[in-house]
Amino acid sequence: MFHYLDGQLHAERVRLSEIAGAAGTPVYVYSSAVFASRFREFTEGLAGIDHLICYAMKANSNQAILRLLLGLGSGFDAVSAGEIERAAAAGAPGGRIVFSGVGKTGTELRQALDTGVRHFNVESEPELAMLSEIAASSGRVAPVAIRVNPDIDAGTHHKISTGKAENKFGVPVSRVREVYRQAAQLPGLRIVGLDMHIGSQITALAPFEAAFRRAAELVAQLRADGHRITRLDVGGGLGISYGDSDAQLPDAGQYCRLLQRTLAHLECEIEIEPGRYIAGPGGVLLTTVLYAKQGEGRRFLIVDAAMNDLHRTAIYGAWHDIQPLRQPRTDADPEEVDIVGPVCESSDTFARGRAMPPTQAGQLLAIRSAGAYGAVMASEYNTRALVPEVLVQDDRFAVVRSRPSIADIIARDIMPDWL
């Protein structure tokens, strides 16, 4: 629900320039309506089968977002004790939180047992042994699903592909049955399901289909081995359009139909962990053009947002659509520009050779599809304050994370007594 109205880009019924004026730039702005409608695509698609949508909170874990999704019936996929605590602070009961992650510490496992998470997605034999010891020694029983690495190429960027045998995630398919056998014998564990996740920003259904079919086979095998598999967590990964191609991407409805077709017969409770699909389109990063500078054969728009605020282009070469807040005239000839931040490295670039309507210093731009893996990955590089976040609902907005003061940032350093 980001759209031009009366010549100005709006989030729902709020003018984005009004938010920029009130909160300053750079600032992330989220549309409640987008989050809610993207979430509902999954609920509608999975109607008729027993399921829980465990929103991957790593994509955007602002508590206001968690509270919004919680109200729509969401569960959460957490990957650290910090995320579990955050979900709980937003009001999520333990029974709606699954705990994933390839390197959970003993302290985190203990904390998750205290919270009473829905289940642990265990990624290795040593983790299984550690969880068993911790649970048994405190007289508790940990509900467990084991994450299988199905050795399927998700066809996505190599930095966010997780389901190939060469990736660090999960237990190899060839060893899964053996690991379940061990799990069944260890004290303090109760097997409840099977888990997988093959990668992120997956833009075709074929890798999902291959993974779901493999999961269905495995569930059948594990049941034949005598295990009670009542939950199947198929992870997240459904990709979104960033506006860089006209290709028709599969939507949540198609994804859910595939899921119904390949998995409904198992009569498991199906869990999915979408992050980007729900959060990505729901956010923009607003930035001000500081300078327009003519380089040697290139025109640069230097903006006040930087790679530390939105890392995706610097890390993955990701393409994000960028729009002026003031609607450009339709007859304006576009100019080719590089849109860059103020940080002292060339990777601090949001767009290269991008066709933009003529843009001057002082104008405001919106970097689109920045609701997922934006604010959560921000850092304070160059002693730049973490970007604030604003949530819009209909005609109102609220700052849901404030911009820290530089004094607060500096005050975290501790001077040793010998200096």
| Beta-ladder partners of 338 | 300
Sole window of 20-28, 105-113, 269-277, 390-398 interacting with ligand LLP (rule: CB under 6 A): 269-277
Residue 398 identity: A
Interface with ligand LLP, residue 274, by CB under 6 A: yes
Interface with ligand LLP, residue 74, by CB under 6 A: no
Q: Which residue, 179 or 290, has its beta carbon nearer to ligand LLP?
A: 179
Identified catalytic residue from 54, 256, 268, 344: 344
Among 9, 11, 53, 56, the residue binding ligand LLP under the rule CB under 6 A is: 56
Interface with ligand LLP, residue 373, by CB under 6 A: yes
Q: Which residue, 158 or 261, has its beta carbon nearer to ligand LLP?
A: 158
Of 57, 79, 86, residue with least CA distance to 69: 57
Among 77, 83, 127, 309, the residue binding ligand LLP under the rule CB under 6 A is: 77
Q: Which residue, 288 or 313, has its beta carbon nearer to ligand LLP?
A: 313
How many CB atoms within 10 Å of residue 415?
6
For the record, the structure tokens of 379 come out as 């850092």
Of 339, 330, 281, residue with least CA distance to 305: 339
344 catalytically annotated:
yes
Q: Write down the number of H helices and E strands in the chain.
A: 12, 21
Provide the 8-state DSSP code for 233. E
What single string gives the DSSP state of each residue in 238-304? B----SS-------HHHHHHHHHHHHGGG-PEEEE---HHHHGGGEEEEEEEEEEEE-SS-EEEEES
Residues 152 and 414: their CA atoms lie apart, in Å, by 47
Judge contact between 215 and 196, C-beta under 8 A.
Answer: yes
Please give the backbone phi and psi of residue 228, each rounded to the nearest 5 degrees, phi first: -90, 100
Interface with ligand LLP in residues 286-345 (CB under 6 A): 312, 316
How many CB atoms within 10 Å of residue 114?
13
Q: Which residue, 30 or 373, has its beta carbon nearer to ligand LLP?
A: 373
Among 38, 96, 118, 197, the residue binding ligand LLP under the rule CB under 6 A is: 197
Interface with ligand LLP in residues 94-123 (CB under 6 A): 100
Sole window of 40-48, 89-97, 271-279, 349-357 interacting with ligand LLP (rule: CB under 6 A): 271-279
Residues 137 and 37: their CA atoms lie apart, in Å, by 45
Q: Which residue, 203 or 393, has its beta carbon nearer to ligand LLP?
A: 203
Three-class secondary structure of residue 208 per DSSP? helix
Interface with ligand LLP in residues 212-251 (CB under 6 A): 235-238
What single string gives the DSSP state of each residue in 149-180? E------S-GGGB--STTSSSSEEGGGHHHHH
Interface with ligand LLP, residue 2, by CB under 6 A: no
Among 1, 33, 36, 160, the residue binding ligand LLP under the rule CB under 6 A is: 160
Sole window of 40-48, 194-202, 222-230, 387-395 interacting with ligand LLP (rule: CB under 6 A): 194-202
Interface with ligand LLP, residue 273, by CB under 6 A: yes
Residues 398 and 389: their CA atoms lie apart, in Å, by 9
Q: Which residue, 161 or 359, has its beta carbon nearer to ligand LLP?
A: 161
Interface with ligand LLP, residue 83, by CB under 6 A: no
How many CB atoms within 10 Å of residue 134?
18
Judge contact between 258 and 271, C-beta under 8 A.
Answer: no
Q: Which residue, 59 or 325, has its beta carbon nearer to ligand LLP?
A: 59
What's the closest the beta carbon of residue 20 comes to ligand LLP, in angstroms? 24
Contacts of 230 (CB under 8 A, 6+ apart): 192, 193, 268, 269
Among 149, 200, 288, 393, the residue binding ligand LLP under the rule CB under 6 A is: 200
Sole window of 195-203, 204-212, 333-341, 363-371 interacting with ligand LLP (rule: CB under 6 A): 195-203
* Binding-residue total with ligand LLP (CB under 6 A): 21
Q: Which of the residues are catalytic?
A: 344
Q: Which residues contact ligand LLP (rule: CB under 6 A)?
A: 56, 59, 77, 100, 160, 197, 200-201, 235-238, 273-277, 312, 316, 372-373
